[in-house]
Amino acid sequence: MPGKKAERRALLQGLLQEQKRRLWNELRQELFGNNSEQLHNQFDYAMDVAEQGLLDMLADTELKVADIHREELTRMEEAERKFQAGSYGVCEECGTEISEARLAVAPFAPCCVSCQALREKSIYPPQAKY
Ligand SMILES: [Zn+2]
């Protein structure tokens, strides 16, 4: 179906942008919570350079609060990198496209539902049976 791939790509991009906005909003809220003018200014500056690399910027700002979201931001960067490479939303295990509904609730999901289930099984093997 023509345009189907572009359609999905646009949808996934929107999904990632939404996720990124949410992360930044959370960070901003925590900074406001600190009620520090200096942090506020630093963060405004941070917003401008956000596209140049979230983690580099966060390292520079030395914001303790950033640690809270470091893992999420790392995954965000990873997801964006994958998106640029065209491999975002593709299952790491079996290579099928992860459903958009799944990505909507789990934007950083590395694999599809069935592979996820298999992974969890191998981490937590079922009792007995073998
Ligand atoms: Zn899979």
Whole domain around residue 18: which residue ranges? Answer: 1-88
Q: How far apart are CA 89 and CA 100, in angstroms?
A: 8
Do 4 and 20 share a domain, yes or no?
Answer: yes
In angstroms, what is the span from residue 57 Cα to ligand 1's centroid? 34
The count of domains in the chain is 2
pTM: 0.65
Do 56 and 71 share a domain, yes or no?
Answer: yes
In angstroms, what is the span from residue 111 Cα to ligand 1's centroid? 5
Do 20 and 36 share a domain, yes or no?
Answer: yes
Do 73 and 56 share a domain, yes or no?
Answer: yes
Q: What is the DSSP string of the chain?
A: -TTHHHHHHHHHHHHHHHHHHHHHHHHHHHHHHHT-HHHHHHHHHHHHHGGG-HHHHHHHHT-HHHHHHHHHHHHHHHHHHHHHHT-TTB-TTT-PBPPHHHHHH-TT--S-HHHHHHHHHHHSPPSS--
Structure tokens at 1: 């179906």
Do 63 and 114 share a domain, yes or no?
Answer: no
pLDDT at position 120, please? 86
Residues forming beta bridges with residue 90, ordered by sequence position: 97
Q: How far apart are CA 72 and CA 108, in angstroms?
A: 9
Do 8 and 70 share a domain, yes or no?
Answer: yes
Do 73 and 96 share a domain, yes or no?
Answer: no
In angstroms, what is the span from residue 74 Cα to ligand 1's centroid? 22
Ordered mean pLDDT values, 10 residues apiece, the chain (130 residues): 86 93 80 57 53 57 62 88 95 96 92 92 60
Do 30 and 93 share a domain, yes or no?
Answer: no
In angstroms, what is the span from residue 123 Cα to ligand 1's centroid? 16
pLDDT at position 25, please? 82
Do 10 and 68 share a domain, yes or no?
Answer: yes
Q: Residue holding tokens 């640029």? A: 84
- Please answer whether residues 75 and 81 qualify as being in contact, where contact means their C-beta atoms are separated by less than 8 angstroms: no
Do 23 and 63 share a domain, yes or no?
Answer: yes
pLDDT at position 100, please? 94
In angstroms, what is the span from residue 103 Cα to ligand 1's centroid? 13
pLDDT at position 71, please? 81
Do 64 and 26 share a domain, yes or no?
Answer: yes
Q: Which residues fall inside 5 Å of ion ligand 1, going by CB? A: 91, 93-94, 111-112, 115
pLDDT at position 10, please? 95
Q: How far apart are CA 77 and CA 111, in angstroms?
A: 17
In angstroms, what is the span from residue 93 Cα to ligand 1's centroid? 5
Do 25 and 70 share a domain, yes or no?
Answer: yes
In angstroms, what is the span from residue 97 Cα to ligand 1's centroid? 8
